[in-house]
Amino acid sequence: MCAHPNLVLADHPLAGHLLAGLRDTKTSPERFRVLAKRLATVLVLEATRNLAVRDATVRTPLADAPARLIGTMVVAVPVLRAGLGMLETVTELLPDVQVGYVGLERDETTLQPTSYYLKVPQLAGAAVLLLDPMLATGGSAAFAATLLKQRGAADLQLVCVVAAPEGVRRMADEHPDVRVVTAALDDHLNEVGYIVPGLGDFGDRLFGTF
């Protein structure tokens, strides 16, 4: 097991079942999108488990009833393009969520991530969910987390489908305060940076661009 003070594995039978379908090479892009959305539901429920709440009262057809409502703004920020496969789940579960976007690419000279697009709402005081399905080397996720912190994010979680130990270690080193919620901690990265066993390129399988 790879040490990370804030690594959370969504250890739920449904998560394992859905992840098996995502890993399967026989799964079509159409089916892949359905499974990704359903697994994202499990992950987002885990990520929002400790959201701040406030007490309220609602009127039922019979009487007043005590209620607990989400007491903080939630902002979802998918990393383009693969993170879009998790966004619909968040907007359905949290209709009041605000959405930002971060687009990253790798500089061919330095091999480091650079941002080609960044648009986010107010992040200070919000619970921010960074959506990036594959935590491989951790370079993109760590860079995205840095960008969001620079714009005020203090309560930040990374929600991913599969993580590699190398990426988890990088997040622990650079962002030990960021909670990483994932369905699986896989074995290692191969020589070209793919997670093993992984599930291939999430974006390509999601959008059918093989």
Tell me, rounded to whole angstroms, the distance of Cα 69 from its chain centroid: 23
**Which position among 23, 146, 169, 201 bears the catalytic label?**
201
Within-domain flag for 2: no
Q: How far apart are CA 185 and CA 46, in angstroms?
A: 16
Within-domain flag for 198: yes
204 tagged catalytic: yes
Q: What is the extent of the structural domain holding 100?
A: 7-54+69-207
Q: How far apart are CA 69 and CA 48, in angstroms?
A: 13
Within-domain flag for 1: no
**Which position among 11, 106, 177, 187 bears the catalytic label?**
106
CATH number of the domain residue 40 falls in:
3.40.50.2020
Within-domain flag for 60: no
186 tagged catalytic: no
106 tagged catalytic: yes
Q: Considering the entire predicted model, what is its pTM? A: 0.92
Question: So what's the pLDDT on residue 90?
Answer: 96
49 tagged catalytic: no
Judge whether 45 and 93 are in contact, CB under 8 Å: yes
Within-domain flag for 64: no
Question: So what's the pLDDT on residue 111?
Answer: 59
Within-domain flag for 170: yes
Question: So what's the pLDDT on residue 110?
Answer: 67
Within-domain flag for 61: no
Q: How many domains does the chain have?
A: 1
Q: How far apart are CA 115 and CA 207, in angstroms?
A: 22
Within-domain flag for 94: yes
Residues of the chain with pLDDT under 50: 1-2
